[in-house]
Amino acid sequence: MVNAARPSRADYYKALADTLPQHALVVTSLGNASYLWASMHHQPENFYFEDAMGLALPLALGLAIAQPRRPVIVVEGDGAVLMHMGALVTVGAVAPGNLTVLLIQNGVHAASGGQALTNANLDLAALALSAGIPRAKNVTTPDAFAAAMRESDGAGARFLVLSTKPDTEVVRPPIAFDPVLTKQRFMSAIGAPRYVPTMFGGGRLEHD
């Protein structure tokens, strides 16, 4: 839940960089969730979202299922997850043990100008628990976040709600964000075959 004195997104990202598991895949939602992470820890194993609010979590869930031996971490926003609440229920039902959801709770729609959420103080960890995600908790400091990232006990996905102050000023990323290049770079990093579409539907996977 949102606290009066809140750390910045950068504070949490520093702790994330220090505790990032080996071979981890990181999916970040639109705006500063991606721009700041790219400026602090740009890697081919990062998948940066652009202009697709609320879809970082569904993609990360599919990735966790497809890559069960690799840790998958997704950074999503409170406004975004409220747009696609069904994703929480699906995460609870599938229960991928390699998925960690980092929910930035800043109480605003930061990527679209800082409009306040209808209920900024909603207990999103309790909401995740009710959706069947047992390892859900509210986190208020980077130190508590780092400690939670180092915990390995428990089954199912991990869901950490990070109480964060809003960051509406846009961070300039170190690279140009092109969705096609992001996809191709990420697919190469995980060794995924390229999908070749065909006319009138269908398609195939291109193998070497």
Answer yes or no: is pLDDT of 94 > 80: yes
Domain limits of the chain?
9-206
Confidence of residue 113 (pLDDT cuts 50, 70, 90): low
pLDDT of residue 146: 96
Confidence of residue 201 (pLDDT cuts 50, 70, 90): low
pTM, two decimals, is 0.88
pLDDT tens digits along 51-90: 778 899 999 999 999 999 999 999 998 888 888 889 999 9
Answer yes or no: is pLDDT of 208 > 60: no
Q: Which two tokens stand for residue 10?
A: 């950068």
Q: Report whether CATH 2.60.120.890 matches the domain 9-206.
A: no
pLDDT tens digits along 4-41: 678 999 999 999 999 999 999 999 998 889 999 999 99
In SS3 terms, the chain reads as CCCCCCCCHHHHHHHHHHHCCCCCEEEECCCHHHHHHHHHHCCCCEEECCCCCCCHHHHHHHHHHHCCCCCEEEEEEHHHHHHCCHHHHHHHHHCCCCEEEEEEECCEEHHHCCEECCCCCCCHHHHHHHCCCCEEEEECCHHHHHHHHHCCCCCCCEEEEEECCCCCCCCCCCCCCCHHHHHHHHHHHHCCCEEECCCCCCCEEECC
CA terminus-to-terminus distance, the chain: 48
Answer yes or no: is pLDDT of 2 > 60: no
> Can you say how many angstroms the Cα of residue 33 is from the centroid of all Cα atoms in its chain?
8
